[in-house]
A = this chain, B = another copy of it.
Amino acid sequence: MSNAYNRPDQLSPELRRRVLDTARRLGYPGPDPVARSLRTRKAGAVGLLLTENLSYAFRDPAAIGFLEGLALACEDAGTGLLLVPANPEREDVASVHRAGVDGFVVYSVPDDDPHLAAVLERPVPTVVCDQPDLGTVDRVGIDDRGAMYELAKHLIGLGHRRIGVVCMRLARDRNDGFVTPDRQHAAHFHVQRNRLSGLAEAFSEAGVDWSQVPVVERFDHNMASGASGAAQVLDRDPQVTALICTSDVLALGAMTEAGRRGLRVPHDITVTGFDGIRAGEEAGLTTVRQPVLEKGRAAGKLLLDTNERSRPRSVNLATELIIGKTSAGPRGGAEERWFGP
């Protein structure tokens, strides 16, 4: 039977025809994919674990880019891509246990996420993305710390010393508000922790007391969060000359808030982002561009690469500092004078 479907060369055409005929007559719907998977130990799909609600993946431009790249790699290999529902609110990891997949890609989850732990217990290859190097599984990421350090150096060169920061969530608990240095240091999101640490290092080197810098955290990642985060920073210290956001989406929201307050960007205030999404590009945002699509594709390639893997591989992709139209010297600062009246 199995041979009739999958191995036509093993039997005579005549028998094959007869088998298939009676199969159809009996209403046999073709080999069951699950039974096949059990026997062959191949599911023909890779699982994607996201910390956010599944639907969030389709709302964040950077996540969409990552998905596109990952889908590209899956497509090339002819495997399916299973989006695993991992509600961050619940501790329920059953969805991870139930996922019939040949491997997992884990995208930007907090390092203490129970879903991540559940994935690592599964005896299948795994690639983590935007996570710390676990040493046991493959990793894809960028140098968040170095990239942010470079961006900070740019701002310092422009003369900024009094700054504010708006960042994404730092842990699984909701904490919309100012962030203590302790919380920054202990952040469970690798990406955010390293971006903040890059900033802290650069500004500390420039003589800024980092513990006095207002850093505001937002749980939800959307423009509204960027706007309200910027508002909170500006309420605390209206004198800041630059708002550094750890994502473009937040930065776009921050620009909205600046406009609402009559602050011109970059004349009155500098705003920077991170990611290099399309909307930011159109707004001329100063940011760090990271190859999100390539990141997804690299993750997929790593996972689906059947070659002998000696030890876990770690891939760092290159980023690019984009100097846009949203950064300039502080009001009355050095840069300003070159063009000013």
Q: What is the interface of chain A, defined by CB distance below 8 A to chain B?
A: 29-38, 43-45, 47, 53-55, 57-59, 64-65, 67-69, 71-72, 74-75, 78-85, 87, 94-95, 97-100, 121-123
**Contact A95–B123 (Cβ < 8 Å):** no
A32 vs B101: C-alpha distance in the bound complex, in angstroms? 10
For A74, what are the chain B residues with a Cβ–Cβ distance below 8 Å?
Answer: 54, 83, 85
Q: Given A44-B98, A78-B85, A80-B82, answer yes or no on A55-B34 (Cβ-Cβ < 8 Å).
A: no
Besides the known contacts A44-B98, A44-B99, 5 further A-B residue pairs in the complex with CB atoms under 8 A apart: A29-B121, A30-B122, A58-B67, A74-B83, A81-B83
**Contact B55–A71 (Cβ < 8 Å):** yes
Q: Given A30-B97, A35-B38, answer yes or no on A68-B78 (Cβ-Cβ < 8 Å).
A: no
Within the complex, what minimum Cβ distance (angstroms) separates A164 from chain B? 28
For A35, what are the chain B residues with a Cβ–Cβ distance below 8 Å?
Answer: 38
18 contacts between A and B (CB under 8 A): A29-B121, A30-B122, A33-B97, A34-B34, A34-B37, A36-B98, A37-B37, A37-B98, A37-B100, A38-B38, A45-B100, A47-B80, A54-B71, A54-B75, A58-B67, A59-B68, A80-B85, A81-B85
**Contact B29–A123 (Cβ < 8 Å):** yes
**Contact A75–B55 (Cβ < 8 Å):** yes
A121 vs B37: C-alpha distance in the bound complex, in angstroms? 19
For A94, what are the chain B residues with a Cβ–Cβ distance below 8 Å?
Answer: 78
Residue from the set A44, A45, A67, A72 with the largest chain B CB neighbour count within 10 Å:
A45
